[in-house]
């Protein structure tokens, strides 16, 4: 991770084929295309790889979450349960629809704690949205049982975990809807882009229309198409889709490289007294994009992180103090700093997160270090990195 590390001739050829036609938009201009429809081509490839009936490409992972939610009818006042550890896009997509993000604790999977989820359900809850952060998944089996019990939608945010699986199913395909990001730093990239997947025809049709201003895409005259409901513009371009067409064919190659490098790093620090690892739920296989491990205390974890950086172990993260990925620094959500007036449902019913007790999340995140696993490392670089990690951690512990 990320896929841009290994850009090659296939990506260049796909992009050039679009430039040769001059048609950069995914819809219309049929006669100029010479039969090339890169977005459709990528959707077909993703459908096969993710083992789902339907795929809708959009402009970003954030757009995918927004479109997925609205495709299932989520709107003003509906509550969406999400974790305290994620990227800000999770709550941005919810707020964009006037819905209410309900933060709940994580457990040692670094994702939603099923017990915390069940405790947070109210009459307004409509969706449980696990976020498979740093390449590994939530306890999807337990969450699915909860969703079925309470008649809730299970929406997988798999933006950081493409290529992983749970009980033999690709991550993103286990729930009612799944979302991916193909931005510049994801395992496979379009530069900018995202996708939602589902086996529900209604959700797919809604997503298809909504993401293109409500166009019903019936016939071959774009100007004559109908608009059965309101929509917005979340279209991906043919140029971005072209990059994705090359990258999706390399997904298994990338995951295999990540697994190899991840294993070298993990083996180096396994057995160090005081080091434990993130729990992967039974039946789950991560995509190995990050190595996540726990240290005995928050103080030791912070000191270790600083020492790793000082010793040249870059792309190493201490999420507990991160501005973008952990609730502690989300003051713009907590205080509802918005350029425009927010819906009454949000301003009146958003929980007061300044008073929330997320000590269970703090227990895990305060002791967590995450190390990015790169695709471009040589065998020597991986070995050297692993040895540095072992030396630094052993010295501190």
Residue 302 known to be catalytic? no
Could you write out the DSSP letters of every residue in 48-65? HHHT-SEEEEES-HHHHH
The CATH number of the domain where 355 resides is what? 3.90.1150.10
* Beta-bridge mates of residue 157: 131, 179
N- to C-terminal Cα separation, the chain = 29
**Which residue range is the domain that position 150 belongs to?**
3-250
Instruction: Provide the domain count of the chain.
Output: 2
Residue 37: what pLDDT?
Answer: 98
The CATH number of the domain where 196 resides is what? 3.40.640.10
pLDDT digits (tens, 9 = 90+) for 157-197: 999 999 999 999 999 999 999 999 999 999 999 999 999 99
pLDDT digits (tens, 9 = 90+) for 283-298: 999 999 999 999 999 9
> 211 with 260, same domain?
no
How far apart are alpha carbons 80 and 74 in whole angstroms?
9
Q: Please classify residue 345 by burial: count the beta carbons closer than 10 Å to its beta carbon, then call 0-12 exposed, 13-18 middle and 19+ buried.
A: middle
User: Which residue, chain included where needed, has tokens 């049709």?
Assistant: 205
- End of a domain among 250, 272, 297? 250
What are the distances in angstroms from CA 22 to CA 162, 238, 285? 31, 10, 41
* Beta-bridge mates of residue 153: 127
- CA 80 to centroid of chain Cα atoms: 16
**Nearest of 115, 141, 117 to residue 127 by alpha carbon:** 117
Q: How many residues in the chain?
A: 397
> 298 with 260, same domain?
yes
> 170 with 302, same domain?
no
**Nearest of 14, 323, 379, 369 to residue 188 by alpha carbon:** 14
**3-class state of residue 101 by DSSP:** strand
> 120 with 73, same domain?
yes
Residue 374 has pLDDT above 90, yes or no: yes
Whether the CB-CB separation of 172 and 197 falls below 8 Å is answered with yes
Residue 325 has pLDDT above 90, yes or no: yes
Q: Please classify residue 143 by burial: count the beta carbons closer than 10 Å to its beta carbon, then call 0-12 exposed, 13-18 middle and 19+ buried.
A: buried
Q: Please classify residue 299 by burial: count the beta carbons closer than 10 Å to its beta carbon, then call 0-12 exposed, 13-18 middle and 19+ buried.
A: exposed
> 263 with 240, same domain?
no
**Nearest of 211, 219, 243, 215 to residue 24 by alpha carbon:** 243
pTM of the shown model:
0.97
- End of a domain among 195, 215, 250? 250
Residue 127 has pLDDT above 90, yes or no: yes
> 304 with 366, same domain?
yes
Confidence band of 304 (pLDDT split at 50, 70, 90): very high
User: Sign (positive/negative) of CA torsion 396, 305, 156, 190?
Assistant: negative
pLDDT digits (tens, 9 = 90+) for 59-103: 999 999 999 999 999 999 999 999 999 999 999 999 999 999 999
Residue 1: what pLDDT?
Answer: 83
Residue 161: what pLDDT?
Answer: 98
Phi, psi of 259 (to 5 degrees): -60, -45
> 57 with 182, same domain?
yes
Phi-psi region of 135 (alpha: psi -120 to 50; beta: other; left: phi over 0): left
Percentage of the chain modeled with pLDDT above 90: 99
Average pLDDT over every residue of 132-160: 98
- Helix residue ranges, H only, the chain: 9-21, 38-50, 61-71, 89-95, 114-120, 140-150, 201-210, 238-248, 251-269, 298-310, 331-334, 344-349, 359-365, 379-396
Q: Which of 126, 186, 328, 390 is catalytic?
A: 186
pLDDT digits (tens, 9 = 90+) for 206-248: 999 999 999 999 998 999 999 999 999 999 999 999 999 999 9
- Helix residue ranges, H only, 75-164: 89-95, 114-120, 140-150
Residue 302 has pLDDT above 90, yes or no: yes
> 123 with 269, same domain?
no
> 232 with 355, same domain?
no
> 45 with 124, same domain?
yes
- End of a domain among 220, 250, 280? 250
What are the distances in angstroms from CA 305 to CA 11, 195, 372, 386? 36, 34, 13, 14
Residue 8 has pLDDT above 90, yes or no: yes
> 256 with 366, same domain?
yes
> 299 with 349, same domain?
yes
């Amino acid at each position: 991770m990320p896929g841009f590390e290994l850009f090659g001739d296939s990506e260049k050829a796909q992009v050039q084929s679009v430039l040769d036609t001059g048609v950069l938009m995914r819809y219309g201009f049929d006669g100029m295309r010479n039969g090339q429809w890169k977005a459709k081509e990528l959707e077909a490839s993703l459908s096969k790889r993710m083992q789902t009936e339907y795929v809708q490409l959009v402009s970003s992972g954030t757009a995918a979450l927004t479109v997925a939610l609205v495709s299932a009818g989520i709107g003003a006042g509906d509550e969406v349960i999400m974790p305290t550890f994620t990227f800000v896009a999770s709550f941005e997509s919810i707020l964009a629809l006037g819905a209410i993000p309900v933060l709940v604790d994580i457990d040692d999977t670094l994702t939603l704690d099923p017990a915390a989820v069940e405790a947070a359900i109210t009459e307004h809850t409509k969706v449980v949205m696990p976020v498979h952060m740093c390449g590994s998944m939530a306890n999807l089996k337990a969450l699915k049982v909860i969703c079925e019990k309470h008649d809730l939608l299970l929406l997988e945010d798999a933006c950081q975990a493409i290529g992983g699986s749970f009980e033999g199913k690709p991550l993103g395909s286990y729930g009612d809807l799944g979302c991916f990001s193909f931005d510049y730093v994801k395992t496979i990239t379009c530069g900018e882009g995202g996708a939602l997947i589902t086996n529900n025809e209604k959700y797919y049709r809604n997503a298809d229309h909504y993401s293109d201003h409500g166009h019903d895409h019936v016939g071959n005259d774009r100007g004559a198409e109908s608009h059965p409901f309101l929509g917005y513009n979340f279209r991906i371009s043919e140029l971005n889709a072209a990059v994705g067409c090359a990258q999706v064919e390399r997904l298994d190659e990338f995951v295999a490289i990540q697994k190899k490098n991840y294993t070298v790093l993990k083996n180096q620090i396994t057995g160090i007294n005081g080091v434990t690892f993130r729990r992967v739920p039974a039946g789950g296989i991560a995509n190995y994009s990050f190595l996540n491990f726990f240290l005995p205390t928050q103080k030791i974890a912070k000191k270790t992180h600083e020492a790793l950086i000082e010793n040249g172990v870059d792309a190493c993260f201490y999420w507990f103090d991160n501005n973008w990925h952990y609730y502690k620094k989300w003051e713009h959500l907590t205080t509802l700093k918005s350029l425009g007036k927010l819906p009454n449902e949000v301003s009146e019913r958003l929980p007061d997160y300044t008073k929330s007790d997320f000590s269970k999340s703090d227990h895990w995140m305060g002791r967590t270090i995450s190390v990015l696993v790169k695709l471009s490392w040589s065998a020597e670089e991986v070995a050297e990195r692993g040895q540095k990690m072992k030396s630094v951690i052993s010295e501190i512990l």
